[in-house]
Amino acid sequence: MTVTASLPRAGLLRRLAAIAYDLLLVTALMMVLTALVLLARGGSTVGPESVWFQCLLLAAWWLYFAGSWVLGGQTVGMRAWRLVLRNSSGGTPGWGKASLRFAAAWLSALALGLGFLSSLVDRDGLGWHDRLSGTELRVRTKLSQADDGERGDDE
């Protein structure tokens, strides 16, 4: 049994707190990215119908979340709330699972949050995005943070 498997699963409130923290960072990232685009366009604005700009912003969101999950199993918000994302074998997810989790989390949110709320009634405490991507959030204890030097496999 890995150290991660012995860690408790994350509850809904802790998950939502980490999301709120990360949304503050992603909002700042979007503002900086928008400022750079405006600077590159000589101050000319980008219209709301601009598909390339919307794709750029979505790609930045994806890179923040998926990159954080793949590279260390945690976003900044998850780190603050001592959450760690693990795949079914206890390691950090690869790009495929992280991307699937990102897309499924959007589905969970766009369905009026039902995908997140489902963790309250799920037998394992998992949300839709956890189930669909084969990943789960665990809560790290202070002791496990010192002991858990493992790097995951790329599943």
Q: Give pLDDT tens digits along the chain (155 positions).
A: 344 668 999 999 999 999 999 999 999 999 999 999 999 999 999 988 899 999 999 999 999 999 999 999 999 999 999 999 999 999 999 999 999 999 999 999 999 999 999 999 999 999 999 999 999 999 998 765 555 554 444 44
Indicate the residue type of 79. R
Q: Judging by DSSP bridges, how do beta strands 135-139 and 83-87 pair with one another?
A: antiparallel
Specify if 59 maps to a domain: yes
141: which 2 tokens?
A: 């204890």
CA distances from 86 to 67, 136, 149, 152 (A): 14, 6, 13, 8
E strand segments, the chain: 83-87, 135-139
Q: Which residues contact 40 (CB under 8 A, 6 or more apart)?
A: none
Specify if 75 maps to a domain: yes
Specify if 95 maps to a domain: yes
Per-residue pLDDT at 42: 96
**Is the torsion defined by CA of 76, 78, 84, 86 positive or negative?**
negative
Specify if 71 maps to a domain: yes
Per-residue pLDDT at 2: 46
Query: In angstroms, rounded to a whole number, what is the distance separating the alpha carbons of residues 103 and 126?
Result: 16
Specify if 150 maps to a domain: no
Count of domains forming the chain = 1
Specify if 153 maps to a domain: no
Domain that holds residue 57: 4-144
Specify if 132 maps to a domain: yes
Task: Please give the DSSP secondary-structure letter assigned to residue 113.
Answer: T
Of 127, 110, 89, the closest CA to residue 11 belongs to 127
Per-residue pLDDT at 17: 98
Specify if 126 maps to a domain: yes
